[in-house]
Homo-oligomer: A and B are copies of this chain.
Amino acid sequence: MAKSRFEYVRNYELPDPLMPGTFIVVRIDGRGFHKFSDTHLFEKPNDKRALDLMDQAARTVLDEYKDVIMAFGESDEYSFLLKKNTKLYNRRRSKISSSIVSLFTSAYVFHWLTYFPDNPLRYPPSFDSRVVVYPGEKEIRDYFAWRQADTHINNLYNTAFWALVKDGQSTTEANKTLQGTDSKDKNELLFSKYGINYNNLPEQYRKGSICVRRPATLVDDRQPQQQIEESITAGVSNVSIDDPAVGSVEDDSVSQTRINGVIRKEKKIKKAKPYEGIDGEIVVLHEDIIRDGFWKERPWFLQ
| Residue positions of A touching B, CB distance < 8 A | 1-2, 4, 6-15, 17, 19-22, 28, 31, 60, 93-95, 97-99, 101-111, 121, 123-136, 139, 142-143, 145-146, 149-150, 153-154, 157, 182-183
Whether A19 pairs with B14 at a CB distance below 8 angstroms is yes
The closest CB in chain B to the CB of A18 belongs to B14
Q: List 13 A-B contacts (CB under 8 A).
A: A2-B182, A9-B132, A10-B146, A12-B139, A19-B19, A31-B99, A95-B128, A95-B130, A98-B129, A101-B102, A105-B105, A106-B106, A106-B108
Can you add 14 more A-B contacts, CB < 8 Å, to A9-B143, A19-B19, A102-B127?
A4-B146, A6-B142, A6-B149, A9-B142, A19-B135, A21-B139, A94-B97, A94-B128, A98-B129, A99-B128, A101-B102, A106-B106, A106-B109, A110-B123
- Contact partner, A6, options B15, B102, B146, Cβ 8 Å: B146
- CB-CB under 8 A from A11, the residues of chain B are 20
A22-B135, A94-B130, A105-B105 given; A110·B99 CB < 8 A: no
| A95: nearest chain-B partner, CB-CB | B128
Q: How far is the CB of A112 from chain B (nearest CB, A)?
A: 9
Distance in angstroms between the alpha carbons of A154 and B150 in the assembled complex: 50
Measured CB to CB, the closest approach of chain B to A17, in angstroms, equals 6
| Contact across chains for A98 and B128 when beta carbons are under 8 A apart | yes
Give me the 8 closest cross-chain CB pairs, A-B, nearest first. A6-B146, A135-B135, A106-B124, A103-B126, A4-B149, A110-B124, A98-B129, A109-B109
Question: A149: which B residues are within 8 A, CB to CB?
Answer: 4, 6
Bound CA span A114–B2, Å: 36
Residues of B near A136 (CB, < 8 A) are: 21, 135-136
- Taking a contact as CB atoms under 8 Å apart, the answer to whether B139 and A126 are in contact is no
Of B8, B105, B124, B134, the residue contacting A60 (CB under 8 A) is: B124
Partner of A135, one of B13, B21, B103: B21
B142 touches A8 (CB 8 A): yes
Known: A17-B14, A145-B6. A102 touches B130 (CB 8 A): no
A21-B135, A129-B94, A146-B9 known; A2 vs B105 contact (CB < 8 Å)? no
Which partner residue on chain B sits nearest A106 by CB separation? B124
Bound form: Cα–Cα A134–B98 in Å: 20
